[in-house]
Structure 1
Amino acid sequence: MKKLIFLLILLFLLFFSSGQTYEEQSLIPLFEDLLTSKPLESQLKKIEIPYWGHTISVEERGYYHFVEFIIRKSAHFFLFGLAAIGFYAILPRNTLHFWLALLCTLILALADEYHQQLTGGRTPSGQDVFLDMCGAVTFLSVYIFIKRIMQKTLDPSKRS
């Protein structure tokens, strides 16, 4: 039951955030207040990220917009990684368990981008779906790996 509640809360957060306009979600005013000294600016100036046929950088977008871009894209990776684990936790165990969790996450990612399309000032992106799925595969793989290591450590009969 706790696993289902965790997944439902996560789904609500995703639905809520993809239903907000960019202006409603913008972290720029917060960063302008909290990051007045622009920490790590010299290091961030060295980074350029290709995205949607553009290069995203501090030089191109400015410090605060670049930091926001990094955080927003990291949120895709982490939230959909957690969603994949949530799906994995509630799905019935079988040989396709891993793949079903990823399929559910893919459907969620596509639905999220579709929902963004219906929201003013938002643009759906195949690159975001790709990023979502990278997070899903990474988180789920690490989760399963750690779970198996823990099982071997705690169960002496499984040691080789």
Structure 2
Amino acid sequence: MTKVMLNGSEMEFTETSDMPLLWAIRDIAGLPGTKYGCGAGLCGSCTVHVDGKAERSCQLTLADVEGRSVTTIEGLDPSGNHAVQVAWRDLNVPQCGFCQTGQIMQAASLLAENPKPTDEEILASMSGNVCRCGCYQRIVAAVRLASTGS
């Protein structure tokens, strides 16, 4: 049995400890916001926060997060009003939307660590998150907007 703080609530997983965190989040906890993209940690669609840091959930097992705090897009702000989520809506960032939860989680982690990043710092932090629609300019603009608080 693996105990994890998931979105602020303790959850016990009875599955084997080598189960990928992504599958535990989606299939066991029933939280569909975290997406499967590449399965190799290269696209960022499965990004969650582990103890406040952006991590690729497809590359972590339940054993890796035992006793730790995991936050998914559903737990970032239950009302959907985290500054990054608001900026995403205000600037109509998504096109297809598939990668956006991972993008938002990566951006929120960046802003928690660096509340006023430069465009270069935004690009560096977001570079591991792939957007097949090419919405990169809107993504950077939304992170910039969320960092200003206006």
Name the structure where strand makes up a greater proportion of residues. Answer: 2
Task: From the CA coordinates, give the structure whose radius of gyration is larger.
Answer: 1
Q: TM-score of the superposition, structure 1-length normalised?
A: 0.24
Name the structure where helix makes up a greater proportion of residues. Answer: 1
Q: TM-score of the superposition, structure 2-length normalised?
A: 0.25
The structure with higher relative contact order (CA 8 Å, sep 6+) is 1
